Structure 1
Amino acid sequence: MTVDGTAPATSAGLPASRAGSPIRIRDVDIRFGEFVAVRGASLDIAAGELVCLLGPSGCGKSTLLNAVAGFVRPAAGEVTCGGEAVTGPDVSRGVVFQSAEALFPWLTVRQNVAFGPQMRGVPKARRDAVVDRYLAMVGLAHSAERFPEQLSGGMRQRAQLARVLANDPSVVLMDEPFGALDAQTRLVMQVELDRIWRETGATIVFVTHDIGEAILLGDRIVTMTAGPSAAIKKDYRCDLPRPRDLTDPACAALFRELREDIGAEVARTLRAQGLDDGHDGRPGADRPERTEER
């Protein structure tokens, strides 16, 4: 159910097959010793939403995601999922990592996907049905008996997603999962993720530094300021019809707005490092002419 008690719906207006859980982040500070990675972050994510966290490298996107996963404990503030405080990792919050090395290399694809349900004591007949369902969903039924080293990068990420989904999570947390893929495979995976999200109805939080990827996937796009002491900067509602085309005028306009938003943070980081050349982060912005002393 959504936060208002209604059944969640996909962007196409169809009811989701399974409800996700709402996420609430309130006044969260995250510290590592004396270093403040995130300060005062607050964000509400409705059940069944796909929200992209977008920002330059080092802005705390993954750190905030890890707090929702329960891998990191906030120094202040609170994170809740489904109304329950997040105090540590839980099977209800599945994580898809950027690295395909997260798969167990000594297990086949089928065994990798079955691992979670097996550890939870799911009976074999039911476990086999769950594995078959999610292997078919991610298009890997034909590769079930292969080992990870026998798969392409895109196939390994599909296997990792199937392994997470087999635990029936209400929240799926994705930390730049397609960042290491080639451009064409990445486009295929973006389309597949959109389809799988519609089919499962899970809440998805997707970390990326790719503006186009955020526009193609997100119900909302949340930008963050540059670190340290990173914070939530702006929340963009992305109501554009799916599937999306980045050459569409509405998508292109949003792309430009986000590019300026993120560019300003990159410029601020450069200034802090003493590397400022007078550029304000906007593509095509004029730089001041340099005058040489004679």
Structure 2
Amino acid sequence: MTEVVETALPKVRGAALCADGVGIRFDSFQAVQNISLDIAAGEFLCLLGPSGCGKSTLLSAMAGFVTVDEGSLSVGGDRITGPDPELGMVFQSSEALFDWMTVRQNVAFGPRMRGASRAEQTKLADEYLGLVGLRHCADRFPGQLSGGMRQRVQIARVLANEPGVVLMDEPFGALDAQTRQVMQEETDRIWRASGCTVVFVTHDIDEAILLADRIAVMTAGPAASVKSVYPVDLPRPRDEDDPSAVELRRQLREDIGEEVRKALRDQGLDDASRDAEEDDR
């Protein structure tokens, strides 16, 4: 069980994030087009959709790593033109951590780059490691931790920079099912404790229902856009067997299934897929 240490952390001020008619191209390939989303300060939004629909591309643009070709992205009212301290990114792979640094040094890296004193670096690192339940691992190296623990270190490292928005790109995709469930519960707790805005990319419908305030479903790529946005009006912690959760799951599966079938048709694979299903019967 995670040992969470109570700290006197100030609640981070979540920042609003806005996408206005965003389009992103790579040479002649249109990855996404006409994406418009208004994400409120402190909101938890999940981007959900079939593989290849541009979820990660859009998230990278929100982080300032990818240039927008049409429209605009802004955080706190300021246009996003590149990486910004207001935007923190949690990657799918824990290889983003520095293996040659201890856990504490990893989390303190951002404050050190900002010019914080050594005492302030240590204080912030220990506070955020306490928030994610890993203060007892501060002097270990990433290679000595489990996958789930390394991802919690990533989250602590991002939060130590005190961003208004945390962007998470399928951060639990490489974890086993049991660890993934624990990390989903931990993410919900950490988000509520931190007060930051979260945009979370996933292809897992149940994960989105468990975590999100709203779920934005994207169409199949190329030239993907936002198909629909669902509010998740369920009390936290979420009960997956709640009738409202069951109905929302059904709607999301139908919505995404329609996009998957469209993608198969565009690739000329729909008939073959249907024939295979009939043969299995």
TM-score, normalised via structure 2 length: 0.93
| Displacement after TM superposition at 1:145 (Å) | 0.9
| Displacement after TM superposition at 1:18 (Å) | 2.6
1:89 is aligned to 83
Does structure 1 residue 229 correspond to structure 2 residue 239? no
Letter in 1 for 2:182: V
Alignment of 1:156-235 (within 5 A): 156-235=150-229
CA distance in 2, matches of 1:62, 1:93: 15
Q: Does structure 2 retain, via aligned residues, the 8 Å contact 1:267–1:279?
A: no
Q: Does structure 2 retain, via aligned residues, the 8 Å contact 1:27–1:78?
A: yes
Alignment of 1:43-58 (within 5 A): 43-58=37-52
2:11 is aligned to 17
Gaps of 5+ in 2: 1-9
Q: Does structure 2 retain, via aligned residues, the 8 Å contact 1:117–1:167?
A: yes
Q: Which structure has more helix as a fraction of its residues?
A: 2
| Displacement after TM superposition at 1:17 (Å) | 2.2
Letter in 1 for 2:146: S
What is the CA RMSD across the aligned residues, in angstroms? 1.8
Does structure 1 residue 80 correspond to structure 2 residue 74? yes
Does structure 1 residue 153 correspond to structure 2 residue 147? yes
2:6 is aligned to none
Going from structure 1 to structure 2, the CA distance change for 1:18 and 1:289 (only over 3 Å counts) comes to closer
CA distance in 2, matches of 1:70, 1:167: 16
Going from structure 1 to structure 2, the CA distance change for 1:199 and 1:277 (only over 3 Å counts) comes to same
Q: Secondary structure at the match of 1:243?
A: coil
Q: Secondary structure at the match of 1:277?
A: helix
Q: Secondary structure at the match of 2:20?
A: strand
2:55 is aligned to 61
Letter in 2 for 1:167: N
2:4 is aligned to none
Does structure 1 residue 101 correspond to structure 2 residue 80? no
CA distance in 2, matches of 1:289, 1:270: 17
Post-superposition, which runs of at least 4 consecutive aligned residues in structure 1 deviate over 4 A?
Answer: 287-290
CA distance in 1, matches of 2:36, 2:59: 13
Identical counterparts, % of pairs: 64
Q: Does structure 2 retain, via aligned residues, the 8 Å contact 1:55–1:226?
A: yes
| Displacement after TM superposition at 1:125 (Å) | 1.6
| Displacement after TM superposition at 1:204 (Å) | 0.2
| Displacement after TM superposition at 1:27 (Å) | 0.6
Letter in 2 for 1:65: L
Letter in 1 for 2:245: C
